[in-house]
Amino acid sequence: MFILSEDSQRTQGRDAQSSNIMAGKAVAESVRTTLGPRGMDKMLVSSSGDVVITNDGATILNKMDIEHPAAQMIVEVAETQEDEVGDGTTTAAVLAGNLLGEAEDLLDQDVHATTIVEGYHEAARIALEAIDEQVVGSDVDDDVLKQVAESSMTGKGTGGLTAEALAETVVSAIRHVDGEDGVARDNVNVHTEVGASSNATEMIEGIVVDEEPAHDEMPTTVEDADISILDVELGVRTGDVDAEYSIESIDQLNTALDAEESELRGYAQTVADSGVDVLFTTDSVDDRVASFLANEDVLVFDDLNNTDARKIASATGAARVGALDDLADSEFGHADRIRTESYGGEDLVFVEGGAAAEAVTIFVRGGTDHVVDELERTIGDALDVVATALDSGEVVPGAGATEIAIADRVRSEAAGVEGRKQLAVTAFADALDIVPRTLAANTGQDPIDVLVDLRAAHESEGRAGLITDGESVEIADPIEHGVVDPADVKREAIESATEAATMIARIDDVIAAE
């Protein structure tokens, strides 16, 4: 009796497990070489020829065209990691792959998948406790935040900038949006602009929008600016009905033109009289109105898109005005400075230090698209980790030290676990070794030797990581070398990797429709 269509493919039992595990491991393996300060980059070329050069695990996995459903689950591990904490994506994917590898060995030894799953969950619980113990101090000050930012940047493209300078920018941006309700991460914008060297990257206290002044003769910089956002057209009113004028003499024509002219002049006068310095309108402004306002030194941007209008309103506290007659200073917003600058033929407007300027913008420069794009990802990660660290106030040692400590703890608690589950708990600890081993391999060291040395140093000194500092690589205390990661990044990596690995290991039947 057939219950499946003839075309569907079915794999069962060990074969199904093996093929899923292999696929999951293969994906994790593909990002392994990018881990850590000496991690290599990958060049991804899409079918349409677009090139992305990156070191970011989540970006690599996202751009790879992965079809295998089990492999896809590892991609999701990286995505979850990115969404939840913004960093540690490679770590999470590599860990998931190694948990699968260890599971495979256990299955070969006839340990049942359910036992493995239970053992892994037990081990993950112990691991989370171990992370709590690794949390250092309680004071997450600017220095620690800078270290967190720098640690997240190592191995990534920072263009011609030093990680230190970039870390400083990132920390001041996050500090700027840190309020009573925690870090308003969304108020930090990143604006990229190809052209100058990345050294020109800077933080702007305010926002940057892509808009052009309505007239060439308008001021390019306005200090201490009163700002209004108008949703009205400033042009000759065209009636609803098609009216036809028959003009029979030059005089009549002149009268008609005069009437039009004075209507426009009236609009411009209303604007000028209101005392507004910078006017943004979501509708169009007639050239004659613009020219008149240019004479009055009013800076006008017309045909504003709605997103920009909203951004400007929230950054400056300006109300949206729906009728010209309502233009009054009670509705004005304020900025310390508004300036327009031209970049490669495009005009950009910088709205700085607004009355309600809660937003900041990191204005990223770089010589090429690739540099700028990777810089944007690097900054994005750094912003996320600094926000995460500041929100939770918890950091742990990086450079593999936390993983060594967790593995040690899981291994010693394994002894108390009954039956075959104990094998799975120990296997989980072995899987954790992948992080220091990979950091070692990526710095050209022997992974086994390093592992042995790290364990010995952990035993005697307490904290031991494989620190890369410029050209040198040594085993030392990561805290003393400023290599720290937010505790939440480690927690999330353990949780999402365990979840994916156990989910994949539990599958013993794959039914695929053709």
Q: Which positions touch ligand ADP (CB under 6 A)? A: 34-37, 39, 57, 87-91, 151-152, 154-155, 398-399, 439, 466-468, 483, 485
Least distance in angstroms from the C-beta of 488 to Mg ion = 13
Q: Estimate to the nearest angstrom the gap between the alpha carbon of 80 and the chain centroid.
A: 13
Active site residue 90: yes
The Cα–Cα gap between 57 and 364 comes to 22
If one asks whether residue 56 binds Mg ion (CB under 5 A), the answer comes out as: no
Active site residue 368: no
Which sign, positive or negative, has the C-alpha torsion 460, 465, 470, 471? Answer: positive
Q: Buried b vs exposed e over 231-255: b needs ≥16 C-beta within 10 Å?
A: ebbbbeeeeeeeeeeeeeeeeeeee
Structure tokens at 75: 């991609």
Least distance in angstroms from the C-beta of 325 to ligand ADP = 56
Q: At what angle do helices 487-506 and 13-32 cross, to 10 degrees?
A: 150
Site string for Mg ion, 124-153 (x = CB under 5 A): ----------------------------x-
Residue of 41, 56, 384, 488 marked catalytic: 56
For Mg ion (CB under 5 A), the number of binding residues is 2
Active site residue 281: no
Residue of 80, 90, 361, 402 marked catalytic: 90
Residue of 54, 89, 91, 281 marked catalytic: 89
Of the candidates 82, 87, 193, 233, which one interacts with Mg ion according to CB under 5 A? 87
Whose Cβ is closer to ligand ADP: residue 338's or residue 493's?
493
Site string for Mg ion, 152-191 (x = CB under 5 A): x---------------------------------------
Least distance in angstroms from the C-beta of 87 to ligand ADP = 5
Residue of 308, 381, 384, 433 marked catalytic: 381
Identify the H or E element spanning 29: helix 13-32
Q: What are phi and psi of 179, to 5 degrees?
A: -125, -165
280: Cβ–Cβ under 8 A, 6 or more apart, which residues?
211, 227, 228, 229, 230, 300, 301, 304, 308, 309, 312, 318
Is the separation of the CB atoms in 397 and 484 below 8 Å? yes
Active site residue 381: yes
**DSSP-assigned states of every residue in 112-161:** -HHHHHHHHHHHHHHHHHHHHHH---S---HHHHHHHHHHHHTTS--TTS
**154 touches which of ligand ADP, Mg ion, none (CB within 5 to 8 A by kind)?**
ligand ADP
- Binding footprint of Mg ion on the chain (CB under 5 A): 87, 152
Which residues participate in catalysis according to the annotation? 56, 89-90, 381
